[in-house]
Amino acid sequence: MIWNFDPIAFSIFGLDIRWYGLAYILGFFLALQLGWRIKNKFSPAGSEVSKQMFEDLTFGLFFSGVLGGRLGHFLFYAPETFVSDFFEIFKIWHGGMSIHGGIIGAIIFAIFWQRKHHIPLLWITDIFTLPLSIALVFGRIANFLNGELVGRPTNVAWGIIFPHVDNLTRHPAQLYEAGKNLLIAIVLSFFLARGFGKKEGFLTALFLAGYGIFRFFIEFVKESERSFWIFTNGQWLCIFMVLGAILLAKKQNFWHNGRNTNISPSKK
């Protein structure tokens, strides 16, 4: 299969609207709507989060995530750009985002927000794990439409040729990642439906572990931009994600039969 899809969805008054941009917009509104529903089901004990507060939180996380994703891309995969061509960092239309950097940026904003409003940090991260997982599905599909983040050359029957890259048949790594994110979303939905949102930090640890483990193995079939020792930079970042999940699970004592009582269902 030869994939040569137009990355531009449509144009308005000479402005090109790309599929990747639409994925970001869709992800933002998904976080607003789905996140609000999850918030109403699992509200922090003794705290009230108004609609306006939640919208401000969502926008702040989105903006910080995009900023962190952009900076993280160059920090983790092309640090020389900070010296050789600093202004390339601001040319977002050239592409280049890091989910790991995006998560770090969003968490930094969440820390400041929760301190101001006295809301548990893990409650914030728990709420947005499912919307983030679904948004990442859209993002990886947009990567596939754009023909970017391609996989390594392969002889598998479902291999795809990306002519703007070369004439080699490659793994559709973007679709592997989209499937991985969809699986994580399904698992998170399963646990949310069974009340695990009341266990503070459980969904966050589950997301970190699931994303880190699956992404680690998908990295073996991706064209890696940079490697260190035996693993790619992406794999090292995934290892840190899994370690973070283990430390969080240990701190919150998820293996104990008792329930964490810091979070209680909303009675609204």
pLDDT tens digits, 140-172: 999 999 888 899 999 999 999 999 899 999 999
The tokens for 46 are: 């003794």
pLDDT cut 70: percent of the chain above it: 93
Residue 193 near residue 181, CB atoms below 8 Å: no
**With 80 as the cut, is the pLDDT of residue 266 above it?**
no
pLDDT: which is higher, 113 or 259? 113
Tell me the pLDDT tens digit for each residue of 87-118.
Answer: 888 887 677 899 999 999 999 999 999 999 98
Placement of tokens 């592997």 in the chain: 176
pLDDT at 203: 96
Q: How confident is the model at residue 46 (pLDDT cuts 50, 70, 90)?
A: low
End-to-end CA distance of the chain, in Å?
A: 52
**With 80 as the cut, is the pLDDT of residue 51 above it?**
yes
Q: How confident is the model at residue 42 (pLDDT cuts 50, 70, 90)?
A: confident
**With 80 as the cut, is the pLDDT of residue 211 above it?**
yes
Distances (CA, A) of 237 to 64, 85, 109: 19, 25, 20
Chain centroid to CA 179: how far? 13
Lowest mean pLDDT among 4-18, 187-201, 228-242: 4-18
Q: How confident is the model at residue 262 (pLDDT cuts 50, 70, 90)?
A: very low
Classify 159 as helix, strand or coil.
coil
* Average of per-residue pLDDT across 127-131: 96
Give the closest residue to 97 by CA, choosing from 145, 60, 136, 125. Answer: 136
**With 60 as the cut, is the pLDDT of residue 6 above it?**
yes
Distances (CA, A) of 136 to 127, 184, 211: 15, 10, 11
pLDDT cut 90: percent of the chain above it: 67
Residue-averaged pLDDT of the chain = 89
pLDDT at 256: 67
> What's the full length of the chain, in residues?
268
